C-alpha cells in the first residue's frame, strides 16, 4: 500500500518569509498525482496545488510552488512571502493513475505565521 | 449547489443512540470518500466508493460504522450505538477519477 509521510507536525514562519513543508511518499507506480491541501480553522479543505508525476516541471500557483523529486519520492511545498491567512494545517496527498486506488493523505503539518 | 453538501452541520447525540450523516456529492463525481477528523488531528480514512465497484471499507473502525451510496450519488454514513470516542468531524469528499477532491464542510458529531 502507498504511504505518505509528513515528518513535520508543526512549523512556524515569520510573516513575509519563506517556508518549506516536506512530504515523502512510497509507491511502486510510475504514473500518479500529488496534491497539497490546506485546512484553515474554518475546517474547509482547500486544494493548494497539484502535480502530475509525468511532468518534470514543478507546479506553481502564485506564492505556492513545489519541489518534486520523483526519484527521491519527495514533494515539498514552498510558500513564499508568507501571509497571516496561510496559517492552517497542510496535508500532502497521493493517488495512483491506475485502477481504483484511493487517495492517501499524510498526517499533516500545522503552519503558524508569526506577525 | 455546486459543491459537496453535508448535513447536518452539527449533531449532538446521547451515547448509545444511532446517527446518520448525509453527503450530497457534486453531480457526476464517481468517487466519494468519508473521513473522520478529531480536533486538531489529521484525516482518518473511513470508506471509499468508486463508481459501481465494491467500496473500500478498510478504514471503518468497527462494525458499528457502515455507509452506503445510493444510485451512485448521495451517501449516508451510519454510526450505531454511538460512543464518546466517536465524537469528531466527519468529512465527505467527491471527485472525478484521478482529479482533486472537493470537500464538504463536514458534520461535527458530539456524543454526550
Tens of pLDDT, residue by residue over B11-45, are 999 999 999 999 999 999 999 999 999 887 888 99
Please give the pLDDT value at position B96: 86
Distance between CA atoms of residues B7 and B13, nearest Å: 15
Question: Which residue of A103, A106, A108 is in closest CB contact with B33?
Answer: A103
Give contacts of A89 with chain B, Cβ < 8 Å: 42
CB contact under 8 A, B42 and A44: no
pLDDT tens across B71-110, in order? 879 999 999 999 999 999 999 999 987 788 899 999 999 9
Residues of chain A contacting B43 with CB distance shorter than 8 Å = 91, 105, 108
pLDDT band at A63 (very low <50, low <70, confident <90, very high): very high
Label residue A103 by pLDDT band (50, 70, 90). confident
pLDDT score for B1: 53
What are the E-state strand segments in B10-106?
10-13, 19-24, 31-37, 44-50, 65-69, 75-79, 88-95, 102-103
Kindly report, residue by residue over B49-74, the tens digit of the pLDDT: 998 889 999 999 999 999 999 887 99
Report chain A's mean pLDDT, rounded to a whole number: 93
Place of cell 509521510: A5
- Is B30 an interface residue toward A (CB < 8 Å)? no
Query: What strands, in cross-sheet order, belong to the sheet with B65-69?
Result: B5-7, B19-24, B75-79, B65-69
pLDDT of residue B51: 87
* Helix (H), strand (E) counts: chain A: 0, 12
Average pLDDT over residues A40-44: 87
Give CB contacts under 8 A, 24+ apart, made by B2-7: B2/B26, B3/B102, B3/B104, B4/B92, B4/B93, B4/B94, B4/B102, B4/B103, B4/B104, B5/B104, B6/B90, B6/B91, B6/B92, B6/B104, B6/B105, B6/B106, B6/B107, B7/B107
Amino acid at each position: 500500500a502507498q504511504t505518505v509521510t509528513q515528518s513535520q507536525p508543526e512549523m512556524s514562519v515569520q510573516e513575509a518569509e519563506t517556508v518549506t513543508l516536506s512530504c515523502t511518499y512510497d509507491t511502486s507506480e510510475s504514473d500518479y498525482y500529488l496534491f497539497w491541501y490546506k485546512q484553515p480553522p474554518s475546517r474547509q479543505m482547500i486544494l493548494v496545488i497539484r502535480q502530475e508525476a509525468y511532468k518534470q516541471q514543478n507546479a506553481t500557483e502564485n506564492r505556492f510552488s513545489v519541489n518534486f523529486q520523483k526519484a527521491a519520492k519527495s514533494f515539498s511545498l514552498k510558500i513564499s512571502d508568507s501571509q497571516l491567512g496561510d496559517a492552517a494545517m497542510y496535508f500532502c496527498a497521493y493517488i495512483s493513475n491506475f485502477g481504483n486506488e484511493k487517495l492517501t493523505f499524510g498526517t499533516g503539518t500545522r503552519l503558524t505565521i508569526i506577525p | 449547489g455546486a459543491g459537496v453538501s453535508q448535513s447536518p452541520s452539527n449533531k449532538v447525540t446521547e451515547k448509545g443512540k444511532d446517527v446518520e450523516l448525509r453527503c450530497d456529492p457534486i453531480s457526476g463525481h464517481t468517487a466519494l470518500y468519508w473521513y473522520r477528523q478529531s480536533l486538531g488531528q489529521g484525516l482518518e480514512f473511513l470508506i471509499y466508493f468508486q463508481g459501481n465497484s465494491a467500496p473500500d471499507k478498510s478504514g471503518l473502525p468497527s462494525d458499528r460504522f457502515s455507509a452506503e451510496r445510493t444510485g451512485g450519488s448521495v451517501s449516508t454514513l451510519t454510526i450505531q450505538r454511538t460512543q464518546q470516542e466517536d465524537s469528531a468531524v466527519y468529512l465527505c469528499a467527491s471527485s472525478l477519477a484521478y482529479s482533486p477532491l472537493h470537500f464538504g464542510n463536514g458534520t461535527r458529531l458530539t456524543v454526550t
